[in-house]
Amino acid sequence: MKEMVCIVCPKGCHMKVERNQEEWIVTGNSCNRGKLYAIEEQRNPSRVVPTTVAVSHGMHPRLPVKTARPIPKQLIRRAMEEISKVEVDAPIEQGQVIIENLLGTGVDVVASRRMNRV
Amino acid sequence: MRKVIHYELVVIGGGPGGLAAAVEARESGVKSIAVIERDTELGGILQQCIHNGFGLTEFKEELTGPEYAERFIRELERGGIDVMLNTMVMELHHDRRLVVTSAEKGITEIHAGAVILAMGCRERTRGAIAIPGTRPAGVMTAGTAQRYINVEGYRVGERVVILGSGDIGLIMARRLTLEGAKVLAVAEVMPFSGGLMRNIVQCLEDYEIPLLLSHTVTDIIGRDRVEGVVLQQVDEKLNPIPGTEKRYECDTLLLSVGLIPENELSRMAGIQIDPMTRGPRVNEQMETSVPGIFACGNVVHVHDLVDFVTEESRCAGRAAAQKVLAKAEVADPPKIEIQTIAGTGIGYVMPQRITQAGAADRVTLMMRVKKVYKGAEISVSADDREILRKPFGHLAPGEMVRLDLSSGLVPSGSRTIGIEVIEKQ
Ligand SMILES: Cc1cc2nc3c(=O)[nH]c(=O)nc-3n(C[C@H](O)[C@H](O)[C@H](O)COP(=O)(O)OP(=O)(O)OC[C@H]3O[C@@H](n4cnc5c(N)ncnc54)[C@H](O)[C@@H]3O)c2cc1C
Ligand code: SF4
C-alpha cells in the first residue's frame, strides 16, 4: 500500500493506493479524478515541465515555455537539457511550438506567453 | 501648472486583480477606466511565475502564470480601458485624487469617480526577520531569485539553502534543481509548511529535497559571498535548541518568509488596515473604510490561488461600477452593520464587515486557520448562536478556507458573525 497526496486540485486529498491482483484500490479521494491520478502515479508518473528558453529581440532575455502535455517523470532531466539548447527570435506568439515532438514523446514544447519584438 | 485628468474609475496595479476588476467594470457599463501599472508590462507577479498550476477553478485547465495573465490581457485589449505602463501612483487621497508619475509624462494628477486598489504584495526581507551573521552577497528573497532566473536569465547560485516553506520557496526549490543547482534543504521554523500540499509533493518530494520543519537559520557565514549557513532546530516557542546547530556549505540563501500587502497608498488615503491581514478592512463588496475606494487581490489578503483573486476582483469591479453609475433616484439598499470575528484557531476572516441588507444571505467568507488540524470542524455563529458547522478532514494555514453562507442562515438584526475551529477529541 502507498500513501499519497492528490495534487490534481488544490484540495489535496490524502489517499491510499493498494494493488489487489489486477485492480487498483484507491481510498481517501473525494472525486474520480483523484482515483485516476493515483493509479497513473503508480503506473506512469508524468509532469508538465515549465521552463524558459533564450529569446533575442524580446522585451526580456528569457521566454517562458512548457511541455504542452505531461511527459514521463524520468524524462524531465533530459527534457531540460534538450530545451536549454534552444534559442528563439522574437516575435513569438503564445502557444507557438518551440520544439516539436520533444525526445520522441509526441509532446511539443510551446511558448507560455507572447513576446513582441523590440 | 500640473495637468489634471478625469476618469470614472482608476485601477491601481495591472496584475490579475487589477485586470479582472477593470474588465468587469467595463462589462458593467463604466465608460472611462484607467489601469495604472508601474512595471513595463501588465500581468503583475504572474509573469515571473512560469510554473503551471493556475486557473484550475477559473478555466478548469492547468495554466502557467503568463498564460493566465495573457487571457485577461487579451480581454483588456478589446478596448474601452486606458493602460498607463511605467507609471507609478505616488499619492492617493481620500477624495479619490491621485498623483502619478512616469518618465515619459512627468507628474499628472488624476481625479477618479471610484478607485480600485490592486497593488498586490511584497516579500518580507531579511531585515524583517533579523538573522544574525554577516551581510554577504548571495542572500536574497525567493521572489527576486524567481525574477532573475525566469525573466532576466541569471543564475543565482550552485548550492542553495531555502528558509521558509511558503509556496514561493517550494516552487523555487524545484526551479533551481531543474536549472542544475543543488538545493540542500528547505528549512521551516514552524512545525508545518505554509505552502500548498501539491507544491510540497511536486517540488520537494519529486526531487528528494529535505524539508526540515521546526528549523531556522541562526548564522550566515562568509564575508563577500555566502559560504555557508547554520541551521538549528527550534522548540515549541520557536527558540533555537542549543546543540542542534548544523552547518551547510552553500553559496546562496533564499528567503521565503512571507508576503506583506503593499499598503502605503491605502494608509495615505486614511483607509483602515486590519492588523491580521495587514490589508484594508473591506465589506462584502470589497469597499474599504473610505467610500468609493475598493480593493482586491493580494493587497487585501495574501492569496495562494489566483483564481480566487480573480473572483474577488470581479466583485470589486462590479461594485465600483455600481457606485460610478448610480442614479440619484435609485436608493441604495438599506445599510446594516455585521462584523465578522476570527475566534479560536482562526487567523483572519474576510470580509471584515457586511454592510448591505440581504448580503449575509450570499456572502462567501474567506479565512485562514492558525495551525494544522487533522479532522476538525469550523463553526459559524451569529451573535454567539451557532448557525453552521462544517467538518474538514484537513485544515492548514497554507490553504485558505471558503464558506458560503446561504439564504436565511444569519438571522436579521445580527451584529456579529463569529468563526472558530472545533477540534475533534
Ligand atoms: C511566487 C508565487 C507563486 C505563486 N504560485 C501560484 C500558483 O501556483 N497557483 C495560483 O493559483 N496562484 C499562485 N500565486 C498567487 C497569485 O499569483 C497571486 O495571488 C496573484 O498574482 C495576486 O494578484 P494581484 O493582482 O493581487 O497582485 P500582483 O500580481 O502582485 O499585481 C500587483 C501589481 O500592482 C503594481 N503596483 C503596485 N504598486 C503600484 C503603484 N504604486 N503604482 C502602480 N502600480 C503598482 C505592481 O507592479 C504589480 O504589477 C503565486 C504567487 C507568487 C508570488
Ligand atoms: S481527489 Fe479530487 S477533490 Fe481530492 S484533491 Fe484529488 S482532484 Fe481534488
- Pocket around ligand 2 at a 6 A CB cut-off: A 6, 8-9, 11-13, 29-31, 33-34
Q: How far is A76 from chain B (nearest CA, A)?
A: 8
Q: Which of B40, B65, B393 sits opposite A59 (nearest CB)?
A: B40
- What 8-state DSSP symbol labels residue A73? G
- Supply the mean pLDDT for chain A: 93
Write down how long chain B is.
425
- Sort out which chain A residues have CB atoms less than 8 A from B305's CB and list them: 10
User: Using a CB-CB distance cutoff of 8 angstroms, which residues of chain A are in contact with residue B149?
Assistant: 52
pLDDT over 60 (residue B128): no
DSSP output for B44-72: GGGGG--SEEE-TTTTSS-EEHHHHHHHH
The fold for domain B3-122+260-332 equals: FAD/NAD(P)-binding domain (3.50.50)
Tell me the nearest-neighbour CA distance from A97 into chain B, angstroms: 15
Q: Above 0.85 for ipTM, yes or no?
A: yes
A&B contacts, CB < 8 Å = 78
Architecture of domain B125-257 in this structure: 3-Layer(bba) Sandwich (3.50)
Over residues B70-83, the pLDDT tens digits come to: 999 999 999 999 99
* Best CA proximity match to A54, nearest among B150, B148, B156, B48: B150
Asked if A62's CB is within 8 angstroms of B152's CB, the reply is yes
Q: Where in chain B is the domain with CATH 2.60.40?
A: 340-422
Cβ–Cβ contact A4 with B under 8 A: yes
In chain B, which residues fall in CATH 3.50.50.60? Answer: 3-122+260-332, 125-257
pLDDT at B381 (0 to 100) = 96
Counting residues of chain B whose pLDDT is more than 90, the rounded percentage is 81
Residues in chain B closer than 8 A to A14 (CB atoms):
393-394
DSSP string for residues in B305-345: -HHHHHHHHHHHHHHHHHHHH--TTSPPPPEEEEEEEE-TT
Q: B176-194: per-residue pLDDT in tens? A: 999 999 999 999 999 998 8
Residue A7 has its nearest CB partner, among B153, B178, B201, at B201
Give the pLDDT score at B126: 66
Q: Please name the residue of chain B whose CA is at the shortest distance from the CA of residue A55.
A: B153
Lowest mean pLDDT among B26-35, B70-79, B391-400: B391-400
On average, the pLDDT of chain B sits at 93
Q: Higher-confidence residue: B231 or A10?
A: B231
Of A50, A59, A61, the CB nearest to B64: A50
What is the model's pTM?
0.93
Q: Average pLDDT, stretch B331-340?
A: 84
CATH class label, B340-422: mainly beta
| Interfacial A residues in 71-90 facing B (CB < 8 Å) | 73, 76, 80
pLDDT bin (cut points 50, 70, 90) of residue A10 is low
Mean pLDDT of B325-330: 72
Q: Residue B358 has what pLDDT?
A: 86
